[in-house]
Structures are given as C-alpha cells and as structure tokens.
C-alpha cells in the first residue's frame, strides 16, 4: 500500500484533526531531558518516532553500510543521500508504523525507546541552512504593496509578471519556532523629520510564508531546468519572515531589504516531504503574459495548503488575523528554483527558499499587518477591543498550515515567536 493511501492506519492512535497522520510523517530534529543528544525523528500523532533508534537496530537501513544519518543534529546528511533514499525511508517508516505490522507494535521495550510524546521533546532547527533566499511571489501581495507606496492604477512594476522577484537573505538568523524575536534597531526616517534617526522599529510585522528546502546540489555555471527543479525539492516548512517596515521603507532603495529583514526568520520544526503533498496538487493561477521558455510549466503546479495566522497578546487571548491558501501564489517553487539558477548560481543541500508573503484576494486573506491595517491607517481590532497597527512587545504570532482530506490532514504544525523589547 502506498504511503499516501488514505486507507492507511497506524497502531499509534491519531485523531482526525491531527496534523501528523501516517500519511504525513514529517521529519524533524529533537532531544529530550533524559537524552540531550540531538537526533532525527518523524511526527506521528502526538508522538515522535526516534529514527536513530530504528537505525541502530537495523530496522531502518537507508544509508550506506557503516554510515548513520539519523543520529545527527540536522537533516542534511539524510537529505544528501538523494531522492531515492528519501522515498525509501518514508516507505519503510510507514510500513513499521502500520496497524498490522507487529515488529514495532508488539515489542514493548523497543516501542518505549523509539516513541516519545511530542510534549516531552524539545524541537530544534531541522536543517543546517546553507543559504536563504526570499521570493516575492504573491500577485495579490505585490499589488497591495504597490498600491500603498507607488501607483494604485499601476501597482506592479514592469518586471513583476515576467520574473520571480527575490533577494538573498541571511541564513545565520533563521531560527526554529518558539525562538523569541528581539525588536530590531535601525535607521528610521519619520515623515516629519528632515534627517533619519536611529532606534527601535515602530512598525514590526509578520509575513505569512512557506519555504522549500533544496535537496540536491547543483554545479556552478549549470542552470537547473524548470522540468528538473521539482526533483530537487526535499520538502516544505512554514516561514515567518519578520519585517521592520519603517526600517525597510528607508533602506530598500536602491538595493532592497537589508537590516529590516536580516534580524530573524522563523521556520516550523517539521519538514513535510513533497511526496506527502502530492494528493493535494491543484492548478496554479493563470500566468499572463506567458513566461519566457525557461520558466514555462504545464500541469498542476500548486498545492491546496490552508494557511492561518493568529496573534496572542500578553494577556493570552487568541485572535485570528487572516486565512489564506498557498495555491494563490503566482510563481511556483519550480519556477523560483529555475530562475534562481538561470544565471549559473549553484544551490546546496539545505538552501531555504521562501515564498514571499502569501495573500489572497480578500482583506481577510492578506498575509501581513502591513496589508491588514493598510500601513497602519486602518487598525486591526482584537477580540478584547484593543487595536493593532503593527506588533507590540509581548505579542506572539502563530502561523499554521494544513492540507485537508476527507478523513485526515497533512499538516505542518505551527511556527511561533514572541516579540521581545529592543535593547
């Protein structure tokens, strides 16, 4: 039975609303209080399956003889084995977790060693981030921003419909979910001041994004074709590209974001393999004008991934800010990678490629406070009646995402971060 088969059941109890049924099996890096060593696991229901234990007992044999890839501090050694190994690992893990397979199910000692409640583990950055690139792939988001800051009648720059716009960010400041984010200091140019000032950002924002992880390196000088790009994608995570809008507005001309973006980028701890997302493929938005030949694709190139953002102020109340969908993105992941390498730029295992803010067509689907409050002109009213134009110290932002099937979900879990005061 294929690991994606909706009829599959595990001996591990999984509720219908869980993000982590047997059809998912996302990879992450964890440790426990009892065993502080970082190692690789997969999420199954409310549990984490320790793949290093399965590897040590030869129940999971993916790497060449004598090599251990799951007793590691990142997924990179496993990812480096290549696509065939990824699929074999997922198939073998699925087989071991099946309800009718007694190998793990009936071995109480092994099961107790290999399975740990997710509530009892600490999750870590799942990959060693080789490089980080952030794209600008939502037509709705780009239109909103262009309407705000340029010309509402012509909000998109002339290149936007021809090229996946992106910039190179800082891999060093990519952090895992639940890492606190310090409000950045930087140069600001208040509209009523003649000269810039230096101080804490007054317009700190979130950006609702996803990202994909490059699973196969390319050679310098050799572009990756759009038809081959999909095979190099290991999996996806949720991503919050925190943004200091006031710092950004002053610094971004002429070379784009710098300090306004480099202070933190948060990703979710579980990497969902692209294979688990295949049942949820859908058509992408129509691209008009037709892209240049090196970017042209056919078939279903998007995924039906529901995305949501919640804000939790210091009083602990829950406020839904927006709900949107990955399927709205104008430029696809394969097009992003093909364009990234078109010049001959090489990519490496662990490169992180952000989607850019994902917004839909309606105000409740806009993926940033910049849009939701129209740059602070229309404050967002929280459940308790207080307002937000941008994030305040003590606010926690939580991004979540999932694909919905008839009787199960393929989810990403969450990526969250609390805003701490500037120093």
Q: Is the peptide bond before 254 cis (omega within 30 degrees of 0)?
A: yes
Q: Report yes or no: 329 and 137 within 8 Å, Cβ to Cβ.
A: yes
The series of mean pLDDT values per 10 residues for the chain, 423 residues long, is 96 97 98 98 98 96 88 98 97 98 98 98 98 98 96 96 97 98 97 94 98 98 98 98 97 94 98 98 97 97 98 96 98 98 98 98 98 98 96 98 96 98 97
- Among 105, 124, 143, the domain boundary falls at 124
Q: Which of 287, 268, 279, 177 is nearest to 226 (CA)?
A: 287
Distance of CA 113 to the CA centre of its chain: 30
Q: Which of 19, 141, 339, 340 is catalytic?
A: 141
DSSP bridge partners of 306: 325, 402
Instruction: Indicate whether 300 belongs to any domain.
Output: yes
Q: Are residues 280 and 367 in the same domain?
A: yes
Q: Are residues 252 and 148 in the same domain?
A: yes
pLDDT at 63: 87
Q: Are residues 69 and 178 in the same domain?
A: no
Range(s) of the domain holding residue 317: 132-420
pLDDT at 67: 87
Q: Report yes or no: 258 and 251 within 8 Å, Cβ to Cβ.
A: yes
Q: Are residues 120 and 136 in the same domain?
A: no
- Among 124, 153, 170, the domain boundary falls at 124
Instruction: Indicate whether 10 belongs to any domain.
Output: no
Instruction: Indicate whether 60 belongs to any domain.
Output: yes
What are the angstrom distances between the C-alpha of 61 and each of 24, 42, 84? 20, 16, 13
Structural domains counted in the chain: 2
Any catalytic annotation for residue 141? yes
Q: Report yes or no: 7 and 53 within 8 Å, Cβ to Cβ.
A: no
Q: Which two tokens stand for residue 412?
A: 């990403």
The DSSP 8-state label assigned to residue 271 in this structure reads: B
In angstroms, the CA 31 to CA 38 distance is 5
CATH of the domain at 245: 3.90.850.10
Q: Are residues 119 and 137 in the same domain?
A: no
Burial 315-354 (b: 16+ CB within 10 A, else e): eeeebebbebbbbbbbbbbbbbbbbbbbeebbbebbbbbb
pLDDT at 64: 86
Q: Report yes or no: 189 and 249 within 8 Å, Cβ to Cβ.
A: yes
Q: How much is the pTM?
A: 0.97
In angstroms, the CA 160 to CA 103 distance is 54
CATH of the domain at 60: 2.30.30.230
Quickly count: other Cβ atoms within 10 Å of residue 93's Cβ.
Answer: 21
In angstroms, the CA 224 to CA 229 distance is 6
What are the angstrom distances between the C-alpha of 188 and each of 169, 262, 389, 419? 20, 16, 17, 19
pLDDT at 355: 98
Quickly count: other Cβ atoms within 10 Å of residue 34's Cβ.
Answer: 7
172 burial (CB, 10 Å; 0-12 / 13-18 / 19+) is exposed
pLDDT at 177: 98
| Angle made by CA atoms 31, 32, 34, in degrees to the nearest 5 | 130
- Among 124, 149, 170, the domain boundary falls at 124
If residue 14 lies in a helix (H) or strand (E), which one and from where to where? Answer: none
The DSSP 8-state label assigned to residue 379 in this structure reads: P
3-state helix, strand, coil in the chain (%, to 5): 25, 25, 50
By DSSP bridging, strand 208-214 and strand 281-282 are unpaired
Q: Are residues 142 and 56 in the same domain?
A: no
- The residue behind tokens 């067509």 is 361
């Amino acid at each position: 039975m294929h690991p994606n088969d909706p009829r599959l059941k595990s001996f591990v109890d999984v509720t219908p609303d869980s993000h982590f049924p047997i059809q998912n099996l996302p990879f992450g890096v964890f440790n426990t209080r009892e065993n502080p060593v970082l190692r690789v696991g997969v999420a199954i229901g409310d549990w984490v399956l320790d793949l290093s234990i399965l590897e040590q007992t030869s129940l999971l044999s993916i790497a060449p003889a004598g090599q251990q890839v799951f007793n590691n501090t990142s997924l990179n050694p496993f990812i480096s084995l290549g696509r065939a190994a990824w699929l074999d690992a997922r198939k073998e893990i699925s087989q071991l977790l099946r309800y009718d397979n007694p190998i793990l199910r009936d071995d109480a000692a092994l099961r107790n060693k290999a399975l740990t409640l997710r509530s009892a583990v600490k999750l870590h950055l799942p990959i060693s981030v080789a490089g980080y690139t952030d794209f600008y792939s939502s037509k709705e988001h780009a239109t909103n921003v262009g309407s705000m800051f340029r010309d509402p009648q012509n909000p998109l720059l002339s290149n936007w419909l021809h090229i996946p716009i992106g910039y190179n960010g800082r891999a060093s400041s990519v952090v895992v979910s639940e890492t606190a984010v310090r409000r950045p200091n930087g140069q600001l140019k208040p509209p009523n001041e003649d000269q810039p000032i230096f101080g804490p950002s007054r317009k700190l924002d979130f950006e609702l994004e996803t990202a994909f992880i490059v699973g196969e390196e390319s050679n310098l000088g050799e572009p990756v074709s759009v038809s081959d790009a999909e095979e190099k994608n290991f999996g996806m995570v949720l991503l919050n590209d925190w943004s200091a809008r006031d710092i950004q507005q002053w610094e971004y001309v002429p070379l784009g974001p710098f300090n306004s973006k480099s202070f933190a980028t948060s990703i979710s701890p579980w990497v969902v393999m692209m294979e688990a997302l295949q049942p949820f493929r859908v058509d992408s938005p129509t691209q008009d004008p037709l892209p240049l030949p090196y970017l042209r694709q056919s078939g279903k190139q998007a995924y039906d991934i529901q995305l949501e953002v919640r804000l939790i102020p210091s009083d602990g109340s829950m406020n839904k800010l927006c709900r949107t969908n990955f399927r709205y993105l104008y430029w696809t992941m394969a097009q992003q990678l093909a364009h990234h390498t078109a010049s001959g730029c090489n990519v490496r295992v662990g490169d992180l490629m952000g989607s850019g803010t994902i917004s839909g067509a309606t105000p409740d689907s806009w993926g940033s406070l910049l849009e939701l409050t129209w740059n602070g002109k229309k404050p967002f009213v929280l459940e308790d009646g207080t307002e937000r134009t941008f994030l305040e110290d003590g606010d926690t932002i939580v991004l979540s995402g999932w694909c919905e099937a008839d009787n199960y979900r393929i989810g990403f879990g969450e990526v969250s971060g609390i805003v701490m005061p500037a120093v």
